[in-house]
Structure 1
Amino acid sequence: MMTGINYSMKAQAIKFLSAFVEIVFDNSDNRIPVDKEEVRLRRTIGLKKDEYFLDGKHITKTEVMNLLESAGFSRSNPYYVVQQGKIASLTLMKDSERLDLLKEIGGTRVYEERRRESLKIMQETGNKRKQIIQVVQYLDERLKELDEEKEELRKYQQLDKQRKSLEYTIYDKELHDARQKLLEVEESRSKISEKSAKMYNEVLNAHEESRDLEKVLKDLTKEVQALNKEKEAAEKQQTEAIKKQAELELDVKDMLERFSGNIQAKDDAIKQLDILQKEIQDSQKELNKISPIYDEHLSKEKDITKRIMEREKQLSILYQKQGRATQFSSKAARDKWLQKEIDDLQRVLSSNLAQ
């Protein structure tokens, strides 16, 4: 069957780069499962490679071994070459050993090994088949469960869609109501802001008027103080004049008693008395002249004080109104407080009427 062996080597200097061995088989009996009468098997060995070629086509080592075993060349059958002394050992074999040898040469041993391996593989395949059947059954059951869950999911999605639609409708209505309430609150807040601004302006005006009145009051107070000083000076002069008059009267009396006979002294005393009386009259006239002015300024002071008190009262009322504007958090709270005040006033009025 083997017709020849070709050997070739390529070398550079001393080192070998590659070498190959090629065997040509006569396959006219189709022992090798290749549709050719001549089969070439080559092995090429290089520095970093070891390759097999079948008729110029690259094949693996496993494929080469399978191909040779299918042709009857088995690695477990070492009798293709008869070694020296092997025949003598064969003649001395026992019958059981010869039977094993015949099985080995005939390939029966390889067949039995392959058969055992095949049976083992078939058994493993059967076990795997059973496992696969169990898995398939489990998958079928699981698919049924998934179909049921899918139907439940479809119903759930449908109901969830309806729930979301209802929630959206409710939320939209609540949003509309909230926006409406917000508009009402904004309008109320705007009105309160306008009212508060108006009250603030009134407070500012009241402050301005109060400052003006205080300024006028200060001026009038200064004038009253000046008039008081003038009045005190006039009263002091009047007191001194009266005192002086009394002293002069006493002096005149003494002089009259002492110099009753002296007419000239009497006339002088009378003249001095007239002068003092004239001074007293002048002081009285000046006092009478100052008193109306003092009374007028005093009346003005009282009037201005009264106006200041009225302004302060008005300012307090405005502050109370301004405080009430920010006191209540809502219209309902304000109405509740007003109703309570009305009820209290009605109770007081009823109590007064009953008395």
Structure 2
Amino acid sequence: MPPHPVTELSTRAREVFRLVVEGYIASGQPVGSKTLAGPKSEGGGGLNLSPASIRSVLHELETLGLLAAPHTSAGRMPTETGLRLFVDGMMQVAEPSAEERRTIETRISAPGPIEAALEATSALLSDISGAAGMVMVPRREPRLAQLTLVPLAPTRALAVLVGEDGGIENRVIDLDAPASASALEQAGNYITARLAGRTLAEAATAMQAELAGGRSQLDAASRDLVERGLAIWSEDASRRPVLIVRGAANLLDETALGDIERVRQLLDDLESKQAVAELLESARSAEATRIFIGSENRLFALSGSSVIASPYRDREGRVVGVLGVIGPTRLNYARVVPIVDFTARSLGKLIG
């Protein structure tokens, strides 16, 4: 939370601050007192103040930590603290136009598998925002059809999981003690017969209840195999978020040429999809769109980037993923925030 709420700024200071932030977001360049004093018809701020008075207000805002003056320019630009103050207390969002809403709904609802819709959503967010679009794919929750345990070595087995959707996944299990082929078969049959049709989380819960209640006829060795056979998928799924990023090239715009090191750092950050997915994951519990500005998130502290993220829900209201955009801190928050929010709601309508 900024140390100086908007209400503590004078009317004149608020107006100068707003013009500096909006000018910086529009151009990516620091805004000088001459620009602020110039007539609106020529792109200036149209302030009814002398350049000296404007410079005095700029100095005041800089002292408060809301603006900064780059060494190479006489103009001012908002700090991360200033941007947060603007976003939380002054920004007036512009809802997507009817044409933008139609474009969003049309592009993400094109015929095809849900994976195609997710790809289209990421590209769409990039195109509309001019930044990079990101979509975290819903965690796949296959329902079990069959689990088979195949011996590989005395203390290793291959677990083959077949889902109701026909998907097949294999995992190698390291065993604490040698297991016979019959014990492996018994464990696989137990899971298939009793837990088929459930998700991994549901299967693990039901299995633990049955084993804890002494209702299982499994011996100790088979019981251990059952627990390992399910737990290995549950653990793997939680560590394997899938992230779709499109439009990273948008980050290399004209203003980036003067700060190429920051952009290089940002592109490096995007390569670490696991870390980016963890950031998006933190927005899953949000009731509305979340905004991370620069060093407010450790991952993007060096690149000075901003992330706008929103959870998207299925038709039953359950959060199944997160989408958003990432770009420089001069993102047009007033425009991008409602677009991200609308896109999340539109994608949620497609999720069963």
Greater relative CO, 1 or 2 (CA 8 Å, sep 6+) = 2
Q: Which TM-score band applies after superposition, normalised by the shorter structure?
A: under 0.3
Question: TM-score normalised to the size of structure 2?
Answer: 0.17
User: Which protein has the bigger helix share?
Assistant: 1
Normalising by structure 1, report the TM-score: 0.17
Which structure is larger by alpha-carbon Rg, 1 or 2? Answer: 1
